[in-house]
C-alpha cells in the first residue's frame, strides 16, 4: 500500500479535516503505543498501520 492510498482511506473513514488530527493524536496499542504519524515517520509500512487503524475504528470488512 502506498502512502497516497493510505491517506485516501484515512480521509474516507474519518473525513478530510479530521484524518490528520486523528493520525497525530490517537495512540494505537497495535503500533506499540505510537500514533499513526509516529509510526509512518519511523518507517512502518502503511498497510500494517491501516490494519491497526481499521481495527481501532471497527471498520467493516469492506473498508479494510
Enter the pTM of the model.
0.91
- pLDDT, residue 64, reads 81
Positive or negative, the Cα torsion across 44, 2, 55, 21?
A: positive
The total number of residues written for the chain in this structure: 64
Domain range annotation of the chain: 3-63
Q: Which three cell numbers stand for residue 32?
A: 506499540
- Beta-bridge partner residues of 28: 34
Residues 56, 30: contact at Cβ < 8 Å? yes
φ, ψ dihedrals at 42, nearest 5°: -90, 10
> What is the tens place of the pLDDT at every residue in 24-47?
999 999 999 999 999 999 999 999
Amino acid at each position: 500500500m502506498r502512502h497516497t492510498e493510505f491517506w485516501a482511506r484515512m480521509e474516507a473513514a474519518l473525513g478530510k479535516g479530521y484524518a490528520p488530527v486523528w493520525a497525530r493524536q490517537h495512540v494505537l496499542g497495535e503500533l506499540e503505543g505510537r500514533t499513526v504519524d509516529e509510526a509512518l515517520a519511523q518507517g512502518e509500512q502503511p498497510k500494517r498501520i491501516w490494519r491497526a487503524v481499521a481495527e481501532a475504528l471497527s471498520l467493516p470488512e469492506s473498508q479494510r
